[in-house]
Amino acid sequence: MEPFVTLEEIRAARERIRSAVVYTPVLQVPGPLWLKCENLQPMGAFKIRGAFNMIAQLPTEGRARGVITYSSGNHGQAVALAAKTVGAPAVIVMPTTAPAVKVEGCKSYGAEVIMAGTTSLDRQQRAEQEANERGLTMVPPFDHRQIVAGQGTMGLEILEQCPDVATVIVPAGGGGMASGVAAAIKQSKPSVRIVAVEPVGAPKMTKSLAAGQPVTLPSSASIADGLMNLRPGNITFAHLQKFVDEVVMVDEAAIARAVAWLFRYARLVAEPSGAVTTAAFMRGLGHTDAGRGPVVAVVSGGNVAPEAFANYIAS
């Protein structure tokens, strides 16, 4: 098997998930910026792409037994929705700090929710225990070829919608989306610059790239709850090393300002994790590339608690 997810895998994933995902729009906003609106997916985030791609490939007996995952929220909702779509039971292990809007989202699709700890490692260990005891199929949040291929379908769409794109800016949590989008674009149009963005409070990609191997952070903290992973995956780290041109960090104030900016000027509801790319652009990232073509920032999700969103847009 090829060490990296291929264009053929991503194209096959696109056909497989076509009935379950939205071909989200790319909107131009003030300045040389375009937004890929993954917050408009059925469960409010890009994660449905990878989750459905994997679950749709399970054999009949695997679907009947059910699936399980560990997630801070969006991947959990995606697995819950994908499982419901194919008629499979789903169990989602979430942190005790997960936003209520994301917990209720999982439950609304019929999933069983288990709360476990506060870190990705806490919930991963509980999910693995439940999977072994109950015979469930694990659907990892990012470190799996089928997940990466599913997320990569977004890259194919961006190239179709903005064929002269110069730079694509993606969020970086565990690296599933960054890996998939970068693999799709770099293997189609190598001249496009790919930049991944993470919060300063969760610099796992920055530190891992500096070390030349995946590094586990002792802790993480950010309002961008979907990007607080302590460690990149082995598969996703290898893809970032090969296909991503740069990883940058943004601070909490910049993320909050970007949430408000997206609401005021693009009329979009974006969660902090989905606004980090706009935050990076607002701080100058991609401006020098604008003369070569559009700069596309991925708005990865819009699942934000109403009270928190009200505070962001009022500031």
Given the residues 36, 47, 102, 204, select the one marked as catalytic: 47
Which two structure tokens, joined as six digits, stand for 116?
């476990």
36 assigned to active site: no
Given the residues 71, 72, 273, 300, select the one marked as catalytic: 300
**For the residues of 226-293, what is the DSSP string, one character each?**
GG--SS--HHHHHHHHHH--EEEEE-HHHHHHHHHHHHHHH-----HHHHHHHHHHHTTTTGGGGGGS
146-158 burial: b if 16+ Cβ within 10 Å, else e: bbbbbbbbbbbbb
DSSP-derived letter for residue 77 is H
Number of helices followed by number of strands (H, E) in the chain: 13, 10
176-186 and 7-17 helices, crossing angle to 10°: 120
> Which residues lie below 8 Å from residue 208, measured CB to CB, with a gap of 6+?
214, 215, 231, 232, 237
300 assigned to active site: yes
176-186 and 48-55 helices, crossing angle to 10°: 90
Query: What is d(CA 289, CA 291) in angstroms, rounded to the nearest whole number?
Result: 5
The one-letter amino acid code at 307 reads E
Which two structure tokens, joined as six digits, stand for 168?
């694509």
Catalytic residues: 47, 300
